[in-house]
Structure formats: structure tokens, C-alpha cells
Amino acid sequence: MGRYLYRIGGIALSALFLFYLLPSFTGIAEGRLDLISKNPEGVSAFIKSFNFACLASLFNVGLSLFLALGLTKVAISSTAGKWLNLLIVPVMLGNVSIAFIGKIIFSDLAFFQQGSTVKFLTLTLLQFYQYGTLYTYLFWLIIQNLPRPPIAYVEGIRLTAAEKIKDIFLPACKDLAILLFVLNFILSFYEDAKFQLIFKASIGTNTELISQWLIRTYTSNALYSPVFANNQVLALCLIALGAAAIAIVAVSVIYTWLYERLLTRRRLFLINVQTFAGKVYPTVLLLLVTLPLVYAIGRTIVNFQFDFQTLISPLLFTTLAAIFGVAFSVVLSICLRLGWKRTLASFNRRSLVFFLLLFAMQLIPPVAIYLTGFQWLRLAGYSSEWNLKLLWLTGHAILTIPLISGFILVTHFRTSNNELSYMEAHRLPFNKIVTDCFLKRYLAEYLLTFLISFSLIWNESIINNLFSDFIPSFVSEMKMNIEGRAADYARGVNYLLVSLMIAAAAVLLWRSILKKIDPHHEIT
């Protein structure tokens, strides 16, 4: 009976996410669903976003898997293994911080300001810098936590490195590869900050993506009527969401088929990736992470003046939104773990479905979250500036909940089913189970999740930019002080240093978490 109550709780909490979107349906009904017939520019932006998302996802997941295979002989407890924790730094820096670094690196290089193809390829490399380094680390952790007996057996019968990769490592990474492909597709499909701030994406340069087109359409229509703009863009967001969902299902099926075909190839690699890369990749990867960051800070630190006063408001609101998002995600993840004990006991094909459904919520365009908030204000009646700030907090929490809930769900895998069954058999109260099996045990993990949530909100570009008149943000500071003749990179360093401190704290926390985990337990 208790399990069904937990399931009801998990479903009810998930329904709250959909409840927030309810007012948008009235706007959709009043809007005009004519994306294809009346908006060829939108179709073009969608196609470019789709092509870029496919390219970036294939490149990021494929290259990161290849790099991880080259790190198989690097143990977690080794010196090199400990330094590989730095691979999580770029993703913790966040979108706008990476855009800031990219702006400094590429602004003086004419080659990277050429045609749209060069810009998209450059952006693909930036996507790998931000996400591919994390994927490499995750694949490496999966490989490091494989059971020892099968590996010892294949080493005993002297299988080649290629056979070991084909028969053991690649099958073990398959589910994670599919999940990361889907996640990277979504993140790349709605990419906004890097392209807009580094290359000034526009329809004239053939570089406008779907997020930028939706925002431009809203801004243009708002000059005529804010209500019309809301309704029209919400309707366009619905079509973009539906098309993106169909596209991601199609490319995921194709990607899974290709991965399975890869496992059936007799001759998998022409080179011994472990011999080729075992001693080189750790150093190369760490240089890849640190050099762009050091260069960007070195270019701007000369005129740097720390201005804490400008950071107080965004720090406060970002902290509040992160706390709310993490608290909601912890409760949701506990309910899901207790309600589906067998399915969510480890990362496998059945739990993969849960994660895909969870990350599917990220398909909702950020601008739709923003506009839905104004639909709520229309229903409740706008009365003060604090309503807008509450909308800012809610919108950012909703944007981060799917990702951080996924991280917390993986963390809860370490609470075994035997332990949960034992406590339930002794009819211990719900609060005792939650406190002993989750809250007390994973305080460090929850704090790390808070840092991840904080970084996501701090570096979010669309909602932060649209609310810049009320709440200062990194992206608004970027637009004011890094674009144009009055560019002042030194002011942007204030925000970058906050992101860097968050990333450093995340690395230290992750190191402490690794020390607690059984080295033979699956930690990814």
C-alpha cells in the first residue's frame, strides 16, 4: 500500500510541473498555429537547430566515449584519476561563462567570424568543451566501476584491446550514451547564449536558431500587442515542442541502431586506443579544461575591480531559486525511488525510460516558461514588482528541476532495496526512512546539487535577459559591457569569478563524495 502512495506522491509532484503550464493552453487556443505556412523563417531556424543539435550530439558523445576508452587504465584512486575531477569544471561554469570565455578568445580572430558553417563548427567545439568533458568523465566512471571478474577473465584469456572494448566497455556504456545523446540534443537544440553573445546570431548571417527566432518573434509582436505576442509565441512554442519531440525520438532510434551496429562489427578499431592514449589523454584533457579559462582571466584581470554591490541582488535571487528547485527535486526523487524500488535501483534499460521522460520536460522552450508566467499574472492580476520577481524564481526553478532531479535519482541508487525493504518490514515511520536512508546520508550530494542548480540559474540566458530590467544578471551584464564599442570585459569577470568559485566548490565536494562511495559501486 505504501508503495502506491509513494507513486501517487511522485506523480502528483510531477503534475505540479504541468499545472504551471495550464494558463499557456488558453494562450495557445487564441494563437495562430501557422508556423509552416506563415513563418518560413521559423522553419529555417528549426532546421538549423535540428542540424546543429544532431551534429553536436554525435560529436560530443562519440568523441567523449573515445576519450574515455583511452582512460580505462587510469584508476580512480590514482593521481591522474583524482585530477580528472577537473573535467566537471566547464559544465559547472555554465552557458554564459563559456560564452564569456569564447568571446574573449574568438573576438580578435577574424577566421572565426566568417560564414555560418565556421560559426556552427566553432560552436560545436564549444559545446564539447562545456559538455563533452563531463561526458568523458561519466563514461570513464562507468568503465572504472565495472565488475572486476569479467575484466580479469578477458585479460586471462588474452583478448585484444579491441575485443575488450567491443565485448565489455561499449555494451556497458550503451544506456548512458543514449541518455547523454538525448540530453545533449535538447541542450544544443535550444542553445542561445553562446551563439548570441559570441557571434551575434541573426537571420541575415544565416545563424539564427529556434530560441532566438522565438524571442525575436515575441519582441516584434509585443510592439503591436503584448497579449497577441503571448498567444502567438505560445502557439509557436507548442509546434516547436511537438516537432522537437518527434525529431528527438527519430534521431534517438537511429542513434541506438547505429550503436548496436557498432557492437556487431568484427573489426572495431584500427588502432589500439588504450596504448595510443593511456598516458597522453589525461594531460591533454586537463590542458583543454584549464588553458581557455586561464587565458580569459589573464586577458581581463588587469583592469578588474571587484564590485560586490552589483552581485548582491542576483546572488540572493539565484540562491532562493536554487534552494526551491533542489528541495522540490529531493522530495520528488525520494517519492520516485520508494514508489519504483526495483526499476530505480540502478541505471539500466528500465530506469532509462524514467530519465528520458524526465529530461523530455526540458523540451519546453524557456521562453514558453517565461510567457506562461505572464499568463498567470493576467489571471491573478499584476500588482507589484514582487510578482515579477516571484515569476523569475518560479521560472528558473522549473527550468532546473528535470536535470537536478535526474542527478538526485542517480544519487539515491546507493540506497539499496534490501535496506528499504528491511525498514518497511519493521514498519518504521516514513519520516524515519526518509531521514536515515536519504536526507542524512546524502547531505554532501544535495549540496553539490544545489551548486549545480545555482550554476544553471546563474548562467541561464533567456529568462535572465528578459527580466534584466528588474533583476541584474550575468547575461545582461554581458550584453551591456561586452558588446559594442563600450565593451568592458573586466566587469564581466565579477560574474565569471562567481561561476569559477561554484565550479571549484563542486570539484571539492565531488572528491569528498567519491571517498565515501565503495570503489566497486556504480557511482554514475
Residue 152: Cβ within 10 Å count:
9
What distance in Å separates the CA atoms of residue 356 and residue 376, rounded to the nearest whole number? 28
Q: Per the domain annotation, does 57 fall within a domain?
A: yes
pLDDT, tens only, 242-251: 888 888 888 8
User: Can you give the pLDDT at residue 383?
Assistant: 61
| Phi, psi values for residue 34, rounded to 5° | -130, 40
Q: Cβ(209)–Cβ(49) under 8 Å?
A: yes
pLDDT for 271 equals 45
Convert the pLDDT of each residue in 261-279 to its tens digit. 777 765 554 445 554 455 5
**Which DSSP category does 436 fall into?**
I
Provide the domain limits for residue 291: 2-516
The type of residue at 234 is L
Q: Are 347 and 173 in contact (CB under 8 A)?
A: no
Query: Is residue 62 assigned to a domain?
Result: yes
Rounded to the nearest integer, the mean pLDDT of the chain is 78
Distance separating alpha carbons of residues 461 and 509, to the nearest angstrom: 26
Give me the residues of the chain with pLDDT under 50, please: 1, 269-271, 275-276, 518-524
Domain of residue 347, CATH code: 1.10.3720.10
pLDDT given for residue 158 in this prediction: 66
Looking at the domain assignment, is residue 72 inside a domain? yes
Q: Which amino acid is at 291?
A: L
What is the Cα–Cα distance from 352 to 41, expressed in whole angstroms?
Answer: 36
Domains held by the chain: number:
1
DSSP 251-292: HHHHHHHHHHHHHH-SS--SS-HHHHHTTTHHHHHHHHHHHH
Number of H helices, E strands in the chain: 27, 0
Q: How far, in Å, CA of 49 to CA of 53, rounded?
A: 6
C-beta of residue 209 within 8 angstroms of C-beta of residue 193? no
Q: Would you say 314 and 499 are in contact if contact means Cβ atoms under 8 Å apart? A: no
Task: Quickly count: other Cβ atoms within 10 Å of residue 261's Cβ.
Answer: 9
Cβ neighbourhood burial of 66 (10 Å; 0-12, 13-18, 19+): middle
Contact between residue 335 and residue 6 where contact means Cβ atoms under 8 Å apart = yes
170-186 CB burial, b ≥16 within 10 A, e <16: bebbbbbbbbbbbbbbb
Q: Is 275 left (phi over 0), alpha (psi -120 to 50) or beta?
A: alpha
Does 521 fall in a domain? Answer: no
Residue among 403, 494, 412, 406 at smallest CA distance from 454: 403
E-strand ranges in 281-416 read none
3-state secondary structure of 57: helix
pLDDT at position 305 is 64
Distances in Å between the Cα of 68 and the Cα atoms of 136, 177, 254, 440 are 5, 12, 23, 33
Note the helical H segments in 21-114.
22-30, 35-38, 40-69, 79-83, 89-93, 95-106
Whole-model pTM?
0.84
Residue 522, domain member (yes or no): no
φ, ψ at 440 (rounded to 5°)? -70, -35
Q: How many other CB atoms are there within 10 angstroms of residue 226's CB atom?
A: 14
pLDDT one-digit tens code per residue, 374-416: 777 777 666 667 777 888 888 888 888 888 888 888 888 888 8
Considering the domain boundaries, does residue 453 fall inside one? Answer: yes
Determine the straight-line distance between the first and last CA of the chain, rounded to whole angstroms. Answer: 31
pLDDT on residue 520: 43
For 204, the 3-state DSSP assignment is coil
Report the distance separating Cα 164 and Cα 453, nearest Å: 38
Query: Cα–Cα distance between 415 and 345 in angstroms, integer?
Result: 8
Asked if residue 524 is part of any domain, the answer here is no
User: Tell me, what's the pLDDT at 522?
Assistant: 42
Q: Tell me whether residue 167 is in a domain.
A: yes
